[in-house]
Chain A
Amino acid sequence: MIPIIVSGTPRSVDATPDTPLLWVLRDNLGLTGTKFGCGMAQCGACMTPVSAAAGQKITTIEGAQGKAVKALQDAWVKLDVPQCGYCQSGQIMSAAALLADNPQPTDADIDTALDGNLCRCATYQRIRAAVHQAASTMRG
């Protein structure tokens, strides 16, 4: 059993140590908000083996809270960013990480921060607009 802390809740999972964290979240814990798209680190977290996450704090879209995530989700809805929606959990998590570091990102900052998150529906223009909108909401 491997101990991990998911969105503040300690969990213990029965998975082989080489299992990518993504599949522990999705298959062991039923947290399907985190998606499988490529399986080869084109989008970051999915290939982290669960053993490397043992005892670490992990936040998933389901448990993501705080001002930035809320502001981003509101902006996503307001601007109707999603199309198929499959990539959007990942986009919002990356955008939240950006806003934590940079409360007033430029288009170029957004492009750099989100370049690892593919969107096959190409909702990128609205993603940029929604990140700006969330940033401005947060600045008040």
Chain B
Amino acid sequence: MDKIINPSRRAFLKTGTTLGVGLTLAFYLPVGGAARMKAGQGTDKPFAPNAFVRIAPDDTVTAIVKHLEMGQGVNTGLPTLVAEELDVPWEKIRVESAPADAKLYNNLLWGPMQGTGGSTAMANSFEQLRRAGATARAMLIAAAADNWKVDANTLVTLDGMVLHRPSGRKASYGQLAEKAATMPQPAEVALKSPQDFKYIGKQFKRTDSKAKSNGSAQFASDVRLPGQLTALLARPSVFGARLRRVQTERAKAVSGVRAVVEVPQGVAVIATDFWSAKKGRDALQIEWDESGGARVSTTEQRDQYLALLNQPGKVARSEGDAAQALAQAAKKLEATFEFPYLAHAPMEPLSCVVQLKDSGCEIWAGSQSQTSDQATAAQILGIKPEQVKIHTLLAGGSFGRRANPASDYIAEAVSVAKATRDLSAPIHLMWTREDDIRGGYYRPMFVHAISAGLDAQGNPVAWNQRLVGQSIAAGTAFEGGLVKDGIDMTSVEGASNLAYAIPNLHVELHSPKLGVPVLWWRSVGHTHTAFSTEIFIDELAAAAGKDPYAFRRALIQHPRLKGVLELAATKAGWGTPLAPKSGVRRGRGIAVHESFNSFVAEVAELSVRPDGSFSVDRVICAVDCGIAVNPDQVRAQMEGGIGFGLSAALHSAITLKAGRVEQSNFHDYPLLRISEMPRVEVHIVPSQAAPTGVGEPGVPPLAPAVANALFAATGKRLRKLPFETSELRSA
């Protein structure tokens, strides 16, 4: 089968490490290292042939997962790869999160860094973990061959047993574990062909559903260490403001409050429990010096961004001569698109526990970027990264928020622990929902302008796009890899590589610098580029008098993109009329987009009421993500991505006034509720290609599919998110 090729835009760190180098490290064996059991140890000791597999004498097999389980299913999908090649029953598999280690557990698509993001967990592990399983299996076979004095080639494995069929001898992996640990590691192992897969592509149940249904699943906010204290931090009134003075007496007088300390990030109140810390924080009287802060107002920012749309930016892509082709076009169209700042709002607010020890420091967190968090903590404490031990727990959602190159909440907690060292207590830093909504690191606000031309036959001949929005990568460790000639690839992804065959294509970018911190948010640049491009292609189809599906189909070149488009349209019954419902206007819209090397098309069907409010009734989704390692979890990620995309399209905007974030909690930053969730049907394209991402790619097509359906229902084009439904009122 194909080599795993996943040219993720996040593959390149400042170190200059390239994808190719990452892949040569595809399987790191700590030969003679700590993970490997030495001969002569007791039989209760496990067999740990590599950093990803451990087999105990009681036959339990532990798969060590280097990625963060934040809902996307890595604690199920990655162990499936081990089980497949190792050949063990699914019930025997246990899952354990890996400790932070940039050598053993780096993301192969990122370089020397452990982290989860860019929908890469499966793509970068697919070969690595199968190899880990196959190596362990080969060593178990070698152990049995040695025990029984037979040729290893005469042995087979079945469900956690090694069998010698000619003699009827058999032994379980647990029985062979101790011996296997003494066998040499094979230099090469053969991996199964897809047609022999017993696990991959089947419907294995999640390993964590039970714990997540009975309250026993442990998140960072659930950590309870003896003597632990809870810290809440008062942060600056506007981004970048500094502490001028603080009066702490009233806070210190709150029962339960143990300390109030100044740290570089603000003023921390440390108490025996959350509520006391919260009351203590509320009692602080703080004056901030806002002179160096970002006193941004989004209304003015919007005006500035719209003005920039009229000025030339940095060229992200230029093919042919778009300006000239546009000037000569038979028909011209132009439109402006607007996108607000968005908060990730994971259901579990940020939280972590830090315990300082003589030997260093331990951190309990649900982090997407363990090794950069480790480095940040080490730097604050003036110790070596190896002295920082990170326990990765489940994250109650993340969507990019816990993959912050600045390691913000980790740095806060470590700073508080450092400042309260004399308390000798583990510090549990908690964020409230208000802290989360107002805490920055948003999906950047963007505006786009697109102008395009059609020839006399209605074929697009020119496409000119200009984007304005802050760079996420600038100033971070990812800048060297992601920003090329002033273009942050995550700002233009999905636009600079437009999927349609248009001979003259020109894309420009402005990246204004502002003090509002921004960050990757589930599907990153595609959150806005899919919206503008997929609506505008619909507009071109309408202007050409063509069906939007047929128009796209004729212009799409990539066979897999065309494949999902066709599948979604077929399953949705594209071209057949929607059943009318009394009192509402119905419409159907389509959008298709490639992101993170996966291809997704979505058809939305909706009903618009006379007051302009609407319900999305059904979404039909087709996805091509290569081999679907766990089809039910691929469906789950598409369902979730569609709900996540709809949530933002219907409701979400962060706005600022004089530097203050105007929203604070779910009453003014609402999320999708169950009554708004459409019926979702997911269809997976059968594939033998290496697996690609599923966590993010379900999000981008949703909002444009809905916008296109709204146009079909009402004749109105909504080009601004979140949708302003008042524009859809019937006359």
Given the contacts A27-B274, A28-B273, A77 and B673 also touching, CB distance less than 8 Å:
no
- Min CB distance A9 to B, Å, is 16
Whether B665 sits at the interface, judged by CB under 8 Å, is: yes
- Min CB distance B279 to A, Å, is 8
Query: Residues 71-96 of chain A: 1 if any B CB is under 8 Å from the residue's CB, otherwise 0?
Result: 01100110011111111110010000
Q: For chain A, residues 79 to 134, give those with C-beta under 8 angstroms from any C-beta of chain B.
A: 80-89, 92, 110-112, 114-115, 117-128
Complexed CA–CA distance, A39 and B349 (Å): 11
Q: Which of B130-138, B389-397, B494-502 contacts the other chain?
A: B389-397
- Would you call A39 and B432 a contact (CB within 8 A)? yes
Q: Which of B208-216, B261-269, B303-311, B721-729 contacts the other chain?
A: B208-216
- Would you call A77 and B640 a contact (CB within 8 A)? no
| Chain B residues near A76 (CB-CB < 8 A) | 209, 212-213
- Would you call B677 and A125 a contact (CB within 8 A)? yes
| Chain B residues near A58 (CB-CB < 8 A) | none
- Would you call A120 and B639 a contact (CB within 8 A)? no
Query: Residues 399-417 of chain B: 1 if any A CB is under 8 Å from the residue's CB, otherwise 0?
Result: 1000000000000000000
- Would you call B675 and A16 a contact (CB within 8 A)? no
| Contact of B70 (CB < 8 Å), options: A84, A111, A112 | A84
Quick one: which of A28, A73, A122 has the most chain B CB within 10 A? A122
- Would you call B397 and A84 a contact (CB within 8 A)? yes
Given the contacts A33-B216, A115-B673, A118-B673, A42 and B633 also touching, CB distance less than 8 Å:
no
- Min CB distance A90 to B, Å, is 10
| Chain A residues near B212 (CB-CB < 8 A) | 76, 82, 84-85, 88
Whether B667 sits at the interface, judged by CB under 8 Å, is: yes
| Contact of A120 (CB < 8 Å), options: B73, B213, B397 | B397
Complexed CA–CA distance, A44 and B274 (Å): 18
| Chain A residues near B273 (CB-CB < 8 A) | 15, 19, 23, 27-28
Complexed CA–CA distance, A20 and B278 (Å): 11
Whether B671 sits at the interface, judged by CB under 8 Å, is: yes
Complexed CA–CA distance, A77 and B640 (Å): 17
Q: For chain B, residues 366 to 408, give those with C-beta under 8 angstroms from any C-beta of chain A.
A: 394-399
Closest to B619 in A: A125
Q: Chain B's interface: helix, strand, loop or mixed, by majority?
A: loop
- Min CB distance B227 to A, Å, is 13
Quick one: which of A28, A76, A125 has the most chain B CB within 10 A? A125
Whether B101 sits at the interface, judged by CB under 8 Å, is: no
Given the contacts A32-B222, A82-B209, A85-B396, A122 and B349 also touching, CB distance less than 8 Å:
no
Query: Residues 197-208 of chain B: 1 if any A CB is under 8 Å from the residue's CB, otherwise 0?
Result: 000000001101
Interface residues of B, CB < 8 Å — how many?
65
- Min CB distance B210 to A, Å, is 5
- Would you call B213 and A82 a contact (CB within 8 A)? yes
Q: For chain A, residues 19 to 43, give those with C-beta under 8 angstroms from any C-beta of chain B.
A: 19-20, 23, 26-28, 30-40, 42
- Would you call B675 and A84 a contact (CB within 8 A)? no
- Would you call A122 and B433 a contact (CB within 8 A)? no
- Would you call B347 and A86 a contact (CB within 8 A)? yes
Complexed CA–CA distance, A66 and B349 (Å): 31
- Would you call A120 and B205 a contact (CB within 8 A)? no
- Would you call A121 and B677 a contact (CB within 8 A)? no
Whether B680 sits at the interface, judged by CB under 8 Å, is: yes
- Would you call B216 and A124 a contact (CB within 8 A)? no
- Would you call A85 and B208 a contact (CB within 8 A)? yes
Given the contacts A73-B213, A85-B208, A88-B212, A37 and B433 also touching, CB distance less than 8 Å:
yes
Whether B299 sits at the interface, judged by CB under 8 Å, is: no
| Chain A residues near B222 (CB-CB < 8 A) | 26, 32
Whether A60 sits at the interface, judged by CB under 8 Å, is: yes
Closest to A23 in B: B275
Given the contacts A32-B224, A40-B433, A87-B347, A122 and B642 also touching, CB distance less than 8 Å:
yes
- Min CB distance A45 to B, Å, is 14
Given the contacts A82-B208, A85-B71, A124-B643, A35 and B213 also touching, CB distance less than 8 Å:
no
- Would you call B230 and A120 a contact (CB within 8 A)? no
Quick one: which of A20, A27, A35 has the most chain B CB within 10 A? A27
Whether A61 sits at the interface, judged by CB under 8 Å, is: yes
Q: For chain B, residues 429 to 477, give those with C-beta under 8 angstroms from any C-beta of chain A.
A: 430, 432-434
| Contact of A86 (CB < 8 Å), options: B397, B636, B647 | B397
- Would you call A33 and B214 a contact (CB within 8 A)? yes
Complexed CA–CA distance, A38 and B481 (Å): 37
Whether B672 sits at the interface, judged by CB under 8 Å, is: yes
- Would you call B206 and A123 a contact (CB within 8 A)? no
- Min CB distance A26 to B, Å, is 7
| Contact of B205 (CB < 8 Å), options: A15, A80, A86, A124 | A80
Closest to B680 in A: A125
Whether B125 sits at the interface, judged by CB under 8 Å, is: no
- Min CB distance A125 to B, Å, is 5
Given the contacts A77-B205, A125-B680, A83 and B636 also touching, CB distance less than 8 Å:
yes
Complexed CA–CA distance, A130 and B601 (Å): 27
Quick one: which of B347, B666, B679 has the most chain A CB within 10 A? B347
Complexed CA–CA distance, A123 and B671 (Å): 13
- Would you call A128 and B674 a contact (CB within 8 A)? yes
- Would you call A85 and B642 a contact (CB within 8 A)? no
Quick one: which of A27, A32, A86 has the most chain B CB within 10 A? A86
Complexed CA–CA distance, A26 and B219 (Å): 13
Complexed CA–CA distance, A119 and B398 (Å): 13
| Chain B residues near A87 (CB-CB < 8 A) | 347, 396
A-B contact pairs, 23 of them (CB 8 A): A20-B275, A23-B274, A26-B274, A27-B272, A27-B274, A32-B221, A33-B215, A33-B216, A38-B433, A77-B213, A81-B209, A83-B73, A85-B71, A85-B213, A86-B397, A111-B675, A115-B674, A118-B666, A120-B346, A120-B644, A122-B640, A122-B677, A125-B679
Q: Which 4 A-B pairs have the closest CB atoms?
A: A122-B643, A33-B215, A85-B212, A86-B396
Besides A26-B222, A119-B643, A120-B644, 14 other CB < 8 A contacts?
A16-B255, A27-B273, A35-B396, A42-B667, A80-B209, A82-B71, A83-B73, A84-B212, A84-B348, A86-B347, A87-B396, A89-B215, A121-B640, A122-B644
Residues in A lying within 8 Å of B, measured CB to CB = 15-16, 18-20, 23, 26-28, 30-40, 42, 60-62, 72-73, 76-77, 80-89, 92, 110-112, 114-115, 117-128
